Amino acid sequence: MAAGRVLVTGAGGFTGPYLLSALEERGYRVLGLSDSPDLADADAIERRLEKESFDYVVHLAAVAILAHERAADYYRVNLVGTLNLLEALARRGKLKKVILASSANIYGRPARTPVEESATPAPLNHYGVSKLAMELMARLWFERLPILIVRPFNYSGLGQSTKFVLPKLVAAFRSRTGQLELGDTAVVREFMDVRDVAQVYARLLDSAAAGEVVNLCSGRGVRLDEVLERLTALTGGAPAIRRSEALVRDDEIPALVGCPARLKALAGETAFRPLDETLRWMLAWPATQVRR
C-alpha cells in the first residue's frame, strides 16, 4: 500500500475531487488546495506551503477554458503560477515526485496521429502556448525537483463545465429543449473518462519516472458526429441541431489523438471505459447537480 502525503493544487476544480478519491484509494493522505491562495502571488503560496508537510505534488490548478476572456490570465496562472510553485517547492526538503499537468493542446495540428511525445509542439492558442511555456520553464528545475510533465488529451465526466463540448451535448440531449448550435462536428478527439484519468495520475505518482514528458491518452479517437449518434441512440431522440459558423474556430484542430506507448511503459495498461459508459453516467445525473 502506498504511503505518504500528496499536495494537490486545483483540488476544487473538475479533476481534483476524482484525483483525491483515487489517491485515497491507494493509501495516500491528501492535502487538497483549491485555486486559493492565488498561485500568481508568490508570497501567498510560500506562506501557505510552509505550514504543510507533504511528500508528493500533483499540480492541476490552471486556466483551461479555450474561450477564456483574458489571454493574460493563461500566463499569469499557468506559467507564472507554476514558476512560483516550483520555487516554493525547491526551498523545501526532498520530494518524491512532482507531477505537472500540461496539455495535448501544445501539439497544435500534429502532422500525424496518434501523436507521440517527440512531436514538435506548435500550439494554436494562448492556452496551448502558456502550457508549452510552462513545460520549457519547468525543465530548468529538472535537476532540483523530480518533475514528471503529463500531457492529458480530452477527457470529461460529471462536474465539467458546459463550456466544454461533451457536457454541453449531454445537457442538450438530456433536456431536448431549444436548439443545439455546434461548430465543426467532423473533428476527432479522445473522450476519456475523468475517473480513469484520475487513476492514471495516481499510478504515475507511484512510478519512478522523472525528468520527462508523457501523454495521458487512450489512443482512441472519436468523431464528434459519432458522439451525436451515440447520444441519439442512448436517449431515443435528439434536440434540434444547427451548424453555427460563429462556433467554427480559426484555430480548430481536425484530429488530436495521442500515442499511449510511453504511458503504458510508466503506468501499465489502463482499461479506459467505453464512451457509452461515460455518456450513460453523465446522462443519468440530475441536471441541477452538475456544476456549470
Catalytic residue of the set 75, 127, 155, 201 = 127
For residues 81-105, one letter each, b for 16 or more C-beta atoms within 10 angstroms of the residue's C-beta and e for the rest, the string is bbbbbbebbeeeeebebbbbbbbbb
Residue 56 bears catalytic tag:
no
3-state secondary structure the chain: CCCCEEEEECCCCCCHHHHHHHHHHCCCEEEEECCCCCCCCHHHHHHHHCCCCCCEEEECCCCCCCCCCCHHHHHHHHHHHHHHHHHHHHCCCCCCEEEEECCHHHHCCCCCCCECCCCCCCCCCHHHHHHHHHHHHHHCCCCCCCEEEEEECCEECCCCCCCCHHHHHHHHHHHCCCEEEECCCCCEECCEEHHHHHHHHHHHHHCCCCCEEEEECCCCCEEHHHHHHHHHHHHCCCCEEEECHHHCCCCCCCEECECCHHHHHHHCCCCCCCHHHHHHHHHHCCHHHCCC
Residues 6+ apart with CB under 8 A from 36: none
- Rounded CA-CA distance 135/164 in Å is 24
Residues 6+ apart with CB under 8 A from 253: 108, 109, 124, 187
Known catalytic residues are 127
